[in-house]
Structures are given as structure tokens and as C-alpha cells.
């Protein structure tokens, strides 16, 4: 396929592999190796959309990630918004459309796979142009671990877009040789199509690798920790500000050169080049040689350099020095450029001539890509010499070389790259000499003439002079900001939105600083530039999410009995990361009826629950008793071996933070339990005090949560069931009293059995090593089958404990509740000298009498359950707001034993209000509720011994 | 007592692990029912020395160092903490040995055998597989044979133990409740190797059947 825009030969495209694609509803053909942009240009398509604010036609302006205009929406293979046509690799089946600014997200899940990997290296080289390749080669030859990454599909950087020779041969040969050597070196990782988009503290850099559409993983995020970093990120050409500078067909000069050399594409047939420096001459000469008619090179400088003048004369290319393009014409594409002599002073320019053209090349100089250097907190300075920002002070372990450092000749890039690579490897302890580099004929580069605003243009033309094409921001916008009194580039950025689009101001950033400087009448260096922030280039959220989605989004923690629960098809409740059975519905049951049945079974027969999730910590050492006395509000040192005590933990503010049981297993050893969700936090809390405040205490803590599988057996018949599977434990109430433990054999397995009850009924907790959990569970279930042993879930547990007035930390408390508020003063020792929270109990706020107390609530017996969270008020009719609130309901259920709804609540001066009726605000109704003691069932505790 | 053990945390994922193994890339399997004992003792104390003598090797004193005896691997877990991993059924014996050597001195010996199970990861792609979820540098230059580290693998806290750096072999010690999550994560991360094998096979078929 060669047409009027595709050269018959040349370029790095694979002409044996034509690729069909669709753009804006039209079928086109390109080649493997094309970008969407080069393939469109080869088909004569320049305009790829309209601008976001003004709807002006916009075209392809560049050949790389700096592209401000050519945003496209990918439709197929999968919808993806806001990609730049200049960076989308062409592939079969690609369907894309132009995009005025905002994209469209897919409504279907993305079928592609995205993942992540961590990588470590001695030297990371970012960018594989001449400087980067030379750096990587030097470092790699020393044996250092090297990673070299480049956004482009192939290595070579700027060399790919020129016809430069190295060692008197096409540069491609050197690129191929170096790339092959790097690939063959064992400790080198070669990453093409990989954009390093963020540089963070301590040389932690993040990159995204585009692995291709047909690969197992479409994109992979690389988390790289590098000891040394060499940034060889190149530079971006800067456009020029002049009226009509946004017309399709206006293109960065170097990009046009890239289209010719790399893709064999002519971006137009008749071009005008408008420049402030030498590089547009190279483009003009190369395009001329490829068959493009060059109408003129328009140079703002008074004199062109001898070398380029000679080359132009040879080819008959007209040079107009001391001239500028001051306007363009055309509808959807540039058709002519107005040329004026650069006016002196304030006199308006006079249009000397209009040149017909379908391509307008522009070059305002080159901006080193200092993004990563700056993200790493390196500083930048404005260089008068190259009229751009260059790296100034670098952070430790970061080196910038090549065009990114303001070095623009290939020979110097190669030399400094090679040296930086060896210096970086040396810094990590490798004996690295700079690799020899090929000779390059490229001569010196003369500095550009600083040109930000063309003088003498009328204010009317401000609206036509675009500073940020992506944001449709013009000189008029900047003038308005300056006129409003702004002088900081950061303020003006936010006012005008310049530099905030997908390209983050790659072409517009410094340009706006220049325009601001001219309008304020100060130096560009004084204005500076806005902060460079990650990501350097847009990154898909899917790539950042990686595999952390679906079931792998967060760990699902399960117990040894999980498969049994699954087989019952019970719904699960999330408790932290744990999955806990919520209730076990029988066929035809809803949640309410299942929970009533389970409650009834525990109160009248026997139930069993998987309580393995409770946190368990082994506490050992001669000072263990003293330690526990300090962290619990009650006294644990007086606990006898073989016995168990309930305990509360408070933070230093005196507020309840966790609760559980304390089991004394030996003179110097305890096993404490925590809430399921609080286990890790409690261990951290205890270690914190032990290591930082009480290092003199000889105590060791060991988490044993998952060593044990724990089964609660509860109900008046629980002793009968247990008796059937154990022969060496005397289960009689006097031999094995409430709140004691014993070791024995249960269902043939060594077990630790406790008499603990969270339901008020006779109950046992059976602990066996994890891998016996399922087996012992099955044995107990089997042993109780004729008693209709009933597995129950967290909901039933919650109801049963609420009937007994036992609070759940985190449900009935919220970090503002003291033990006294809970009515648990009995659990706060008055005999101890100190414990965490003690001092706070004498604070004025904790001793006031109108604190909220945990109390019981009884709605009318025949009413529905009042929702948890319901606010409580004093009167049966709401007064004018603000309505004083008395408190809220923390737990609310229907009781099988009481055959009525009941609740727990935190109520102001609640204990003084027992017997009073207050009102719950439910929807638009007020429901009367009677305040009661929090214990509803078996107040005397007669049931715990069965 | 019937057989010594019951059901290991990854018994239900045995097929997942086996099915994710790809010859020439990675092999995944559970090493279940090992004896695991946490030891806490002052490393400079005579008790620590007595323990060293009793178990047959001094307690490792470098971060992440692992000492080996014929029966035991002793993992450095902290300045005064070690995890002793021994063969199935040896938990009682190890505890008795440690308790006797410790005597009346301050220290603690806790059976944590059920707390964690072990996933063995071997094969040339082991490091790459683990790197997908582990931020530590597992390269043989920085993580050698008989070294261990406590870290995160994906979102689970684990102990990674390098059993052999040359023929890559790692043990991942993971909490029993997190084991299935980790097995599922490993299977997912290893899926590309299976896919690659399949692709290589299809490319070969293509090559044989055409003049490509």
C-alpha cells in the first residue's frame, strides 16, 4: 500500500504486514509498526477531532506522548478513552474515533488481564535513545543488574526519527547491536513499550508495560526499586504561539521528520517551516529530499546558520530570516501561512506574503523531559542558553543525561550516557568502564532565539493564539489572569487550566511561562514552571488495580470448618477479613425465622458455633501477671491457674477498646482472647506498651489465633453432647466449674476445653489444633444429632448475648464509652495502683452523671424490631428543631425466649431513667420504648451450670 | 489416636496448586503438618547458649538467617525470636528439648504448629512468580539459601524462606486462615506460565504445519 502520502520505501514499518483499521467510521489500511497517527497521516487524514471548548478542528501535532491534540476513543477491541493517536500502536481490528476532549468508559468489565510485578536493580535506565542505550551498555558490561525501559515499541529514541549515521553506517545497526547485547546479558531486563511514569522517594519508580493486545497480560505495572537511576528521557519540541497556530496541518518540525524516516509517511505535500532554531532546517531538508515541496523556512533570527543556509541553497529552499508566521488560513486544514517581517518595537506587523501550504512545521526549541528528575525532588533551572528548563540539583542516586539534560548532539549524548552508566554502576560497587561509543557526524547546535510572544500583534488576535491546545487556552486567557493580578505560574495554571490536560503541559508548560514573563515584563527564569507530578503519561486504572480485584481484592480469611459452613449454604458475615457464618437457614426459612429457631435451640437444647476467629495471644514470663494487671481494667494477677476471667481493655483515654477472656495456664503463663476483628490491633497495642513503655517487664507475647480451631457448644444439653465424645474430662458442674478450663481428649483429639458462656447457657469452648477442627466439629455434630444439635451463626450469638446484656465492643461501643458507661464498674479494679485508662476515669468528663449509659429497651411487645441506629428523644411529639437527642439504639433484635422485640441503647443518664418511656424516631413515626436493665434473661444466672 | 493429623489448611486447594504447576516454570505444593515452635529468649543469655547446644546449632543471630540441623530449620524472626520448623509429629519433642534447656530462665516456648502452613514454590520461574506480590529483592545476590524474611506476599503476611538459591526453591509460611487466599493468588499469578506453554505448543504446531 503506497499512496500519495506513503513513500514507496523506507521507514521501520513492516510492509509485508498490512493492518486494517477503522477510524471515525472509515476503513483504512496501515502497516505493522505504524502508530494510529502515522497510519492516518499515510491516508491523508490530519484532522482527528475538534477542540474541547471552541470545537475548532484539530490535527495531529506531534509523533509522541507530548501530543496535545490527537485524542482518540478506542472502540475495539475494548473501549478505552482518551488515548493519543501518536502512541497507539496500530493492530488488526482496531476501531477508534475522534474525541472532543472527554472520553467514554466501557460499561462492560474489561476482559483483558492487568497485573503487577516488583523488580530490583542496581541501575535503572529510563529511555533508550542514544544516551540511554550507551548508559545501559556501560552498566550492563560490569555485571550490574540493569533495567532499561522505554515507552516506545522499539529502542533508538530520536535516532529512529532521523537518517543519522553512526560509525558511518545507518544508526539502526548500532541500535540493533546494542539491544541484542543487552538482551543477551543475563542480569539485564529489557523493557520496550514501558513508560516509567512516576519517580518516588529512595529511587522507587513505577512503570507500566504495554505488552500488546494478544498477550496473556495486556499491561503490567512495574514497581522498580533501583539503587541508581539514569534518566535519559530525551526532550520534547516546543511549538510556537502565533495567530491560527492550532489549524490541522500544523506540526512540530521534528515530528514531521519522524513520520518521514520512521514510518515512510509524508505529512503533507507543500510545507512552510517556522522556526527559532536549527532543528526545523533539518526537517525541511529531510522532507524536501523525501519529495515534499518546501515553500520557505521562516526564521525569526536575523541570520541563519551557514551550514543550514548552504544545505537549503543546494536544494533551492527559500529562507526568510527575521520573519514570522503571523496567521494561517484554511478550513479543516491549513492552506496557507501569512508571513511578516518580525516587527521592531510596537509597530504592527505587515503581511508581506502569503504562502500556500498544506503543512506548517513549527519549532520553538526543545524542552528537556525533566519530569522524573523533578518528581524525585531534583531542582530545575531555566537555561538562557537553550531557552528551557534543565536539571539543576539532583537527588541522591539520580543522574540525567542526553537531551533530558539539555545535551542536543548525538555524539555528546552517547558520550555522556556511556559515562553516566559506568558511574552509576560504580556507585553500586561494580567495576564499570564507560563503553566505547560510535562516532557521530552531527555538528554543534546553535542556540534558539527566545520567542514567546510575537511583538506588535493586535489584542484581537490573542483569542487565536493558542498556548495549550489540549485545554483550548489562549494568550487572551493568560492576559486575563495577569490582568486580574496573578503573577505566580501556579495560580495562572489553575485559572487558565493550562498544563492540566492529559499531556500535563508537555508542549504548553514552559510556553505559558514564557508568555507570562512577556506579559509581566520579567525574565522567564523568574516565572519558573509548575510542579511536575506523576504520572508522566496517563495510566489506566485497570493497570494500577492489577489483580487486586474480585476475590483477590482483599484476603478472605476462613476457619478450619469453612467447607462445612459452605456445604450448609449459609450466608456469611464479614468480620474484618474473616468470613463467619451468619445463620444457617433451613429450606423455606428467612433470616428471622432461622435466627429464632437457632436461639430457641440454644436456650432449650444444644447449639454449636465456630468461634475460631477469636484472637488468641499467649502471654508468658515472670512479669506476665503484672503486665496483664496494667493492660486490663480488672485484676488478673489474682486469677488462679486453671481459671478464666473476663477482662476489659481501655485506651489511655479510659474508653473501652477490646474485651475477651483471660485464661491462666500456668504460674507465669496466660492465654488471652480478643475480639475477632481486634486481634491484630490488640497484639500491636500490647507490644507497643511492652517495647516502648515497660521494657523492664519480662513478658513475651505470641499470637496463636490460628493454631487453634475453637468450637462453642452451648445450651442445657451441651454437657450431654460433650460427654459422648470425651472420657477423660469430668464434666460435672462442681468438678468443672464455670470459668475454668481443662486439658483432655475430645473425639480422640487432644483438646483444651473451657467453660465460658456468651449466651448465659451452660456452655463449653473446645480448642483443638487447626487441622483437627473439622474432624472434631463433625464428631460433635454427629454426637448431638439425636438432640437436634443446631449450628448457629453470628446473628444468633448476637441475640443471645444481648438478652444477657453483654455488650459487643465496636457495636455497643464506639470509642467514647467507658466500662462505667457499660454498667461494668465491677470489671474495673479499685485495688490496682495503675492500669491503662485509670487516670482518665477521674476526668471531669468521665465522672459527670449525664453520660450515656448502656441500658435495655423494650418496645411494645407486638411491635416490630426498632432499627439499630434509631435516635431516641424525650417526648412523644417532636418539638421544633434542634431536637435534643438522648442517645441511640446500638443492638436490636427479636427474642425467641421473650417472644418480643428488645434492644440495647446508649442513653443519657440511662440508668437513672429505668422505667421511663422515651421515643425512637423511626421514619416519620415515634415509637415508645421503655428503658430497662440491660439484662433481659435469667438475671440470676441460674442457667450457666445447666 | 488414629492417624496423627487431620485436614491441612490447603487440603482443599491441593488440586489448585498441582494444576497451577508448570514443568520447567514453577511447581507449587503444600508442605503440611510441620512442627513449628516459637522460641523467645535473650540471645546473649546462657539459656540461649544452652538451647544452641541442645538443638545442635547456635541460634542464628543475623536478621533473616536460618540455621539448619538434620531435623530442624531455625528461622531468625526478631532479635530475640526464632521459629523452629521440624518434621511432622516432632512438636512435643522440640518443646521438651527447649523447655529443658531454658530451665528456670526467662523465655517462652509456644507450639504454633497449627498457626501456619507452608507452600513450597520451586522451579526457574519461582522468583518471578513471587515478585508479582512480594516487594523484597529475592535475587540470589541478596536473598540466598537459608535466608528468610517476614513480609507481605500479595496481601497476606508471610515468612519467605529460601531453601535453595541455585535450584530455586522457596517455602512460604502463611497463616492458616490466609492459606487459601494465598493459594488462589499464587495460582492466578502462575497462570501465565501455563498459557505460555500452551502458546509455545501452538506455535510449534504452526511451525510444523507451515513454511513460517
What is the set of domains in chain B, with CATH numbers? 9-32+114-196 (3.30.1360.120), 34-112 (3.30.70.1520)
Enter the C-alpha cell of residue B18. 498441582
pLDDT for A441 equals 85
Contacts of A774 in chain B (CB under 8 A): 6-7
For β-strands B35-41 and B81-86, DSSP reports them as antiparallel
Task: Report, as an integer, the average pLDDT of A872-880.
Answer: 92
Do A46 and A60 contact (CB within 8 A), yes or no?
A: yes
Q: Which of B110, B180, B195 sits opposite A702 (nearest CB)?
A: B110
The answer to whether domain A848-941 has CATH 2.40.30.110 is yes
Rounded to the nearest 10 degrees, the angle between the axes of helix B46-55 and helix B91-102 is 140
pLDDT for B4 equals 57
Quick check: A286 pLDDT over 70?
Answer: yes
pLDDT for B34 equals 97
Share of chain B above pLDDT 70, in %: 90
Q: Do A225 and B134 touch (CB under 8 A)?
A: no
Q: Which of A120, A552, A558 sits opposite B139 (nearest CB)?
A: A120
pLDDT for A845 equals 95
User: pLDDT tens-digit profile of A740-764?
Assistant: 999 999 999 999 999 999 999 999 9
For an interface test with A, give the residue of B1, B3, B6, B42 to mutate (most A CBs within 10 A). B6
pLDDT for A416 equals 97
Closest-CA residue of A relative to B193 is A216
Task: Report, as an integer, the average pLDDT of A704-715.
Answer: 97
Enter the C-alpha cell of residue A620. 508468658
Q: What is the pTM of this model?
A: 0.94
Q: Which of B115, B134, B181 sits opposite A118 (nearest CB)?
A: B134
**Is residue A96 exposed (0-12), middle (13-18) or buried (19+ Cβ within 10 Å)?**
buried
pLDDT for A123 equals 98
Q: Which of B6, B40, B108 sits opposite A775 (nearest CB)?
A: B6
Selection from A509, A516, A513 nearest residue A485 by Cα: A516
User: pLDDT tens-digit profile of A832-856?
Assistant: 999 999 999 999 999 999 999 999 9
In three-state form (DSSP H/G/I as H, E/B as E, the rest C), the secondary structure along chain B is CCCCCCCCCCHHHHHHHHHHCECCCEEEEEECCCEEEEEEECCCCHHHHHHHHHHCCCCCCCCCEEEECCCCEEEEEECCEEEEEECCCCHHHHHHHHHHHHCCCCEEEEECCCCEEEEEEECCCHHHHHHCCCCCCCCCCCCCCCEEEEEEECCEEEEEEEEECCCCEEEEEEEHHHHHHHHHHHHHHHHHHHHHHHHHHHHHHHHHHCCC
Quick check: A589 pLDDT over 90?
Answer: yes
Share of chain A above pLDDT 90, in %: 91
Q: Which CATH class is domain A562-613+707-800?
A: alpha beta
Q: Which architecture does CATH list for A239-361?
A: 3-Layer(bba) Sandwich (3.50)
In three-state form (DSSP H/G/I as H, E/B as E, the rest C), the secondary structure along A25-94 is CEEEEEEECCEHHHHHHHCCCCEEEECCCCCCEEECCCCCCCCCCCEEEEEECCCEEEEECCCCECCCCE
pLDDT for B2 equals 39
Rounded to the nearest 10 degrees, the angle between the axes of helix A591-604 and helix A794-803 is 60
Task: Report, as an integer, the average pLDDT of A888-914.
Answer: 97
What is the homologous superfamily of the domain A615-705 according to CATH? Aminomethyltransferase beta-barrel domains (3.30.70.1400)
Do A245 and A327 contact (CB within 8 A), yes or no?
A: no
Share of chain B above pLDDT 90, in %: 88
Q: Which residues of chain B from 89 to 108 reach within 8 Å of chain A, CB to CB? A: 106-108
Q: Do A555 and B137 touch (CB under 8 A)?
A: no
Q: Do B184 and A548 touch (CB under 8 A)?
A: no
Phi, psi of B34 (to 5 degrees): -65, 155
Share of chain A above pLDDT 70, in %: 99
Quick check: A2 pLDDT over 80?
Answer: no
The mean predicted confidence, pLDDT, of chain A is 95
Least confident of A536-550, A787-801, B186-200: B186-200
**Is residue A197 exposed (0-12), middle (13-18) or buried (19+ Cβ within 10 Å)?**
buried
Check residue A698 and report its DSSP letter: -
Q: Which residues of chain B from 57 to 96 reach within 8 Å of chain A, CB to CB? A: none
Q: Do A770 and B114 touch (CB under 8 A)?
A: yes
- The predicted complex's ipTM stands at 0.93
pLDDT level of residue B203 (50, 70, 90 thresholds): low
Least confident of A101-105, A488-492, A528-532: A101-105
Return d(Cα B122, Cα A660) in angstroms, integer. Answer: 42
pLDDT for B202 equals 58
Nearest 5 degrees, angle CA A592-CA A597-CA A598?
100
Least confident of A116-130, A338-352, A763-777: A338-352
Task: Report, as an integer, the average pLDDT of A441-465.
Answer: 86
Quick check: A104 pLDDT over 90?
Answer: no
Phi, psi of B203 (to 5 degrees): -65, -40
B151 interfaces chain A, CB cutoff of 8 Å: no
pLDDT level of residue B209 (50, 70, 90 thresholds): very low
Q: Do A702 and B108 touch (CB under 8 A)?
A: yes
Task: Report, as an integer, the average pLDDT of A532-542.
Answer: 93
The residues of chain A that CATH labels 1.10.10.1100 are 451-522
Contacts of A775 in chain B (CB under 8 A): 6-7
Beta-carbon pairs below 8 A across chains A and B: 123
User: pLDDT tens-digit profile of A621-633?
Assistant: 999 999 999 999 9
The residues of chain A that CATH labels 3.50.50.60 are 113-236+368-427, 239-361
Task: Report, as an integer, the average pLDDT of A39-49.
Answer: 93
Q: Which of A115, A120, A774 sits opposite B6 (nearest CB)?
A: A774
- The DSSP code sequence of A121-154 is EEEEEE--SHHHHHHHHHHHHTT--EEEE-SSSS
The answer to whether domain A451-522 has CATH 1.10.10.1100 is yes
Do A210 and A339 contact (CB within 8 A), yes or no?
A: no
Question: pLDDT: is A459 or A613 the higher one?
Answer: A613
User: pLDDT tens-digit profile of A191-232?
Assistant: 999 999 999 999 999 999 999 888 999 999 999 999 999 999
Do A103 and A72 contact (CB within 8 A), yes or no?
A: no
pLDDT for A761 equals 96
Quick check: A99 pLDDT over 90?
Answer: no
Contacts of A204 in chain B (CB under 8 A): none
Quick check: B206 pLDDT over 50?
Answer: no
Quick check: A653 pLDDT over 50?
Answer: yes
Contacts of B98 in chain A (CB under 8 A): none
* Whole-number CA gyration radius for chain A: 38
Quick check: A1 pLDDT over 50?
Answer: no
Quick check: B207 pLDDT over 90?
Answer: no
Task: Give the closest-approach CA distance of B192 to chain A in angstroms.
Answer: 6
Task: Give the closest-approach CA distance of A836 to chain B in angstroms.
Answer: 25
Q: Which of B1, B128, B137 sits opposite A120 (nearest CB)?
A: B137
Contacts of B38 in chain A (CB under 8 A): 702
Selection from A118, A129, A178 nearest residue A151 by Cα: A129
Distant-in-sequence, close-in-space partners of A437: CB < 8 Å, separation ≥ 6:
A134, A411, A414, A415, A417, A418
Task: Report, as an integer, the average pLDDT of B17-30.
Answer: 96
Q: Do A709 and B114 touch (CB under 8 A)?
A: yes
Task: Report, as an integer, the average pLDDT of B92-117.
Answer: 97
B194 interfaces chain A, CB cutoff of 8 Å: no
Do A67 and A86 contact (CB within 8 A), yes or no?
A: yes
The mean predicted confidence, pLDDT, of chain B is 92
For β-strands A790-791 and A607-610, DSSP reports them as parallel
pLDDT for A777 equals 98
Closest-CA residue of A relative to B192 is A216
The answer to whether domain A113-236+368-427 has CATH 3.60.10.10 is no
Task: Report, as an integer, the average pLDDT of A424-434.
Answer: 96
Q: Do A706 and B177 touch (CB under 8 A)?
A: yes
Q: Which residues of chain B from 4 to 63 reach within 8 Å of chain A, CB to CB? A: 5-9, 12, 32-33, 38, 40
Amino acid at each position: 500500500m503506497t499512496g500519495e502520502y506513503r513513500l514507496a520505501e523506507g521507514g521501520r514499518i513492516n510492509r509485508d504486514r498490512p493492518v486494517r483499521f477503522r477510524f471515525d467510521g472509515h476503513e483504512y489500511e496501515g502497516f505493522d509498526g505504524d502508530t494510529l497517527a502515522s497510519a492516518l497521516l499515510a491516508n491523508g487524514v490530519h484532522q482527528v477531532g475538534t477542540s474541547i471548548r471552541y470545537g475548532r478542528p484539530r490535527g495531529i501535532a506531534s509523533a509522541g506522548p507530548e501530543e496535545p491534540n490527537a485524542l482518540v476513543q478506542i472502540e475495539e477491541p475494548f473501549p478505552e478513552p482518551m488515548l493519543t493517536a501518536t502512541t497507539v500502536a496500530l493492530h488488526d481490528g482496531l476501531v477508534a474515533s475522534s474525541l472532543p476532549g472527554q472520553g467514554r468508559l466501557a460499561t462492560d468489565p474489561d476482559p483483558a488481564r492487568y497485573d503487577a510485578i516488583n523488580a530490583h536493580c542496581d541501575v535503572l535506565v529510563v529511555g533508550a535513545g542514544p544516551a540511554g542505550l550507551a548508559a545501559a551498555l556501560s552498566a550492563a558490561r560490569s555485571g550490574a543488574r540493569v533495567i532499561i525501559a522505554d515507552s516506545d515499541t522499539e529502542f533508538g529514541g530520536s535516532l529512529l526519527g532521523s537518517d543519522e549515521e553512526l560509525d558511518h553506517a545507518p544508526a539502526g545497526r548500532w541500535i540493533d547491536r546494542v539491544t541484542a547485547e543487552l538482551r543477551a546479558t543475563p542480569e539485564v531486563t529489557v523493557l520496550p513499550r514501558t513508560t516509567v511514569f512516576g519517580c518516588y522517594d529512595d529511587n522507587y519508580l513505577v512503570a507500566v508495560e504495554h505488552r500488546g493486545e494478544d498477550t496473556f497480560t495486556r499491561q503490567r505495572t512495574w514497581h522498580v526499586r533501583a539503587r541508581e537511576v539514569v534518566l535519559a528521557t530525551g526532550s520534547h519540541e516546543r511549538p510556537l504561539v502565533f495567530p491560527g497556530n492550532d489549524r490541522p496541518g500544523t506540526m512540530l518540525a521534528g515530528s514531521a521528520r519522524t513520520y518521514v524516516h520512521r514510518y515512510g509517511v509524508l505529512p503533507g505535500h507543500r510545507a512552510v517551516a517556522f522556526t527559532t532554531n536549527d532543528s526545523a532546517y533539518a526537517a525541511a531538508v529531510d522532507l524536501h529530499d523525501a519529495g515534499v515541496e518546501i515553500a520557505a523556512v521562516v526564521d525569526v533570527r536575523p541570520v541563519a546558520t551557514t551550514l543550514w543556509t548552504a544545505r537549503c541553497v543546494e536544494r533551492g529552499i527559500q529562507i526568510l530570516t527575521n520573519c514570522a508566521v503571523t496567521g494561517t488560513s484554511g478550513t479543516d486544514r491549513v492552506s496557507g501561512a501569512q508571513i511578516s517581517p518580525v516587527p521592531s518595537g510596537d509597530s504592527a506587523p505587515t503581511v508581506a506574503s502569503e504562502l500556500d501550504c498544506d503543512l506548517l512545521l513549527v519549532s520553538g526549541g526543545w524542552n528537556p523531559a525533566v519530569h522524573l528528575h523533578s518528581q524525585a525532588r531534583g531542582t530545575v533551572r531555566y537555561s538562557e542558553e537553550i531557552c528551557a528548563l534543565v536539571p539543576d540539583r539532583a537527588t541522591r542516586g539520580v543522574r540525567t543525561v542526553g537531551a533530558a539534560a539539555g545535551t542536543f548532539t548525538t555524539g555528546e549524548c552517547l558520550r555522556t550516557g556511556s559515562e553516566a552508566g559506568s558511574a552509576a554502576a560504580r556507585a553500586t560497587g561494580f567495576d564499570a568502564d564507560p563503553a566505547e561509543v560510535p562516532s557521530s557526524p552531527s555538528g554543534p547546535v546553535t542556540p534558539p532565539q527566545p520567542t514567546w510572544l510575537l511583538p506588535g500583534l493586535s489584542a484581537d488576535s490573542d483569542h487565536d493564539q493558542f498556548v495549550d491546545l489540549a485545554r483550548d487556552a489562549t494568550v487572551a486567557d493568560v492576559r486575563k489572569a495577569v490582568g486580574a493580578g496573578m503573577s505566580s505560574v501556579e495560580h495562572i495554571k489553575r485559572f487558565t487550566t493550562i498544563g492540566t490536560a492529559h499531556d500535563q503541559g508537555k508542549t504548553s508548560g514552559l510556553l505559558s511561562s514564557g508568555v507570562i514573563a512577556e506579559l509581566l515584563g520579567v525574565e522567564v527564569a523568574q516565572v519558573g514552571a509548575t510542579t511536575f507530578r506523576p504520572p508522566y503519561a496517563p495510566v489506566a486504572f485497570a493497570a494500577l488495580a492489577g489483580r487486586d480485584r474480585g476475590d483477590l481484592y482483599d484476603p478472605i480469611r476462613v476457619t478450619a470448618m469453612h467447607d462445612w459452613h459452605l456445604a450448609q449454604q449459609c450466608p456469611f458475615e464479614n468480620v474484618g477479613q474473616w468470613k463467619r457464618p451468619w445463620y444457617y437457614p433451613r429450606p423455606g426459612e428467612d433470616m428471622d425465622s432461622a435466627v429464632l429457631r437457632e436461639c430457641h435451640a440454644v436456650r432449650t437444647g444444644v447449639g454449636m458455633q465456630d468461634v475460631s476467629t477469636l484472637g488468641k495471644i499467649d502471654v508468658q514470663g515472670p512479669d506476665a501477671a503484672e503486665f496483664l494487671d496494667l493492660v486490663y481494667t480488672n485484676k488478673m494477677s489474682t486469677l488462679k491457674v486453671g481459671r478464666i476471667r473476663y477482662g476489659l481493655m481501655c485506651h489511655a483515654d479510659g474508653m473501652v477498646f477490646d474485651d475477651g477472656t483471660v485464661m491462666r495456664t500456668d504460674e507465669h503463663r496466660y492465654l488471652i482472647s480478643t475480639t475477632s476483628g481486634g486481634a491484630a490491633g490488640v497484639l500491636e497495642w500490647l507490644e507497643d506498651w511492652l517495647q516502648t513503655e515497660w521494657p523492664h517487664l519480662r513478658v513475651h507475647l505470641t499470637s496463636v489465633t490460628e493454631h487453634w480451631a475453637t468450637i462453642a457448644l452451648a445450651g442445657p444439653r451441651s454437657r450431654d453432647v460433650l460427654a459422648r465424645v470425651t472420657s477423660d474430662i469430668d464434666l460435672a458442674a462442681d468438678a468443672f466449674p464455670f470459668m475454668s478450663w481443662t486439658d483432655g481428649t475430645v473425639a480422640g483429639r487432644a483438646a483444651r476445653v473451657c467453660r465460658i458462656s456468651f449466651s448465659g447457657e451452660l456452655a463449653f469452648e473446645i480448642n483443638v489444633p487447626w487441622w483437627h477442627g473439622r474432624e472434631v466439629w463433625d464428631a460433635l455434630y454427629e454426637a448431638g444429632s439425636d438432640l437436634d444439635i443446631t449450628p448457629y451463626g453470628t446473628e444468633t450469638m448476637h441475640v443471645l448475648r444481648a438478652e444477657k446484656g453483654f455488650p459487643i465492643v465496636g457495636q455497643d461501643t464506639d470509642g467514647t464509652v467507658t466500662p462505667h458507661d457499660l454498667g461494668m464498674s465491677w470489671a474495673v479494679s479499685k485495688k490496682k495502683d495503675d492500669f491503662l485508662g485509670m487516670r482518665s476515669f477521674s476526668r471531669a468528663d468521665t465522672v459527670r452523671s449525664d453520660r450515656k449509659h448502656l441500658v435495655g429497651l423494650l418496645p411494645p411487645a407486638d411491635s416490630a424490631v426498632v432499627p439499630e441506629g434509631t435516635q431516641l428523644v424525650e417526648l412523644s411529639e417532636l418539638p421544633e428543631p434542634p431536637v435534643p437527642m438522648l442517645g441511640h439504639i446500638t443492638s436490636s433484635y427479636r427474642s425467641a425466649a421473650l417472644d418480643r422485640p428488645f434492644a440495647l441503647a446508649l442513653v443519657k443518664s440511662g440508668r437513672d431513667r429505668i422505667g421511663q418511656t422515651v421515643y425512637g424516631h423511626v421514619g416519620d413515626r415515634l415509637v415508645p420504648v421503655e428503658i430497662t436493665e440491660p439484662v433481659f434473661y435469667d438475671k440470676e444466672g441460674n442457667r450457666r451450670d445447666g | 489416636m488414629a492417624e496423627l493429623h487431620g485436614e491441612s489448611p490447603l487440603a482443599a486447594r491441593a488440586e489448585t496448586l498441582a494444576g497451577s504447576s508448570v514443568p520447567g516454570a514453577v511447581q507449587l505444593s503444600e508442605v503440611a503438618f510441620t512442627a513449628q515452635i516459637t522460641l523467645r529468649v535473650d540471645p546473649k543469655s546462657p539459656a540461649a547458649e544452652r538451647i544452641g547446644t541442645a538443638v545442635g546449632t547456635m541460634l542464628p543471630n543475623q536478621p533473616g538467617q536460618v540455621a539448619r540441623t538434620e531435623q530442624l530449620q531455625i528461622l531468625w524472626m526478631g532479635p530475640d525470636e526464632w521459629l523452629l520448623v521440624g518434621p511432622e509429629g516432632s512438636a512435643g519433642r522440640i518443646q521438651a528439648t527447649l523447655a529443658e534447656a531454658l530451665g528456670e530462665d526467662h523465655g517462652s516456648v509456644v507450639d504454633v504448629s497449627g498457626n501456619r502452613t507452608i507452600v513450597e514454590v520451586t522451579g526457574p520461574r519461582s522468583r518471578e512468580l513471587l515478585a508479582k506480590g512480594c516487594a523484597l529483592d529475592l535475587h540470589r545476590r541478596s536473598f540466598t539459601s537459608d535466608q528468610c524474611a517476614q513480609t507481605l506476599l500479595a496481601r497476606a503476611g508471610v515468612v519467605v524462606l529460601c531453601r535453595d538459591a541455585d535450584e530455586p526453591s522457596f517455602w512460604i509460611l502463611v497463616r492458616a486462615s490466609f492459606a487459601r487466599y494465598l493459594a488462589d493468588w499464587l495460582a492466578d499469578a502462575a497462570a501465565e506460565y501455563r498459557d505460555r506453554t500452551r502458546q509455545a505448543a501452538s506455535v510449534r504446531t504452526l511451525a510444523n504445519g507451515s513454511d513460517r
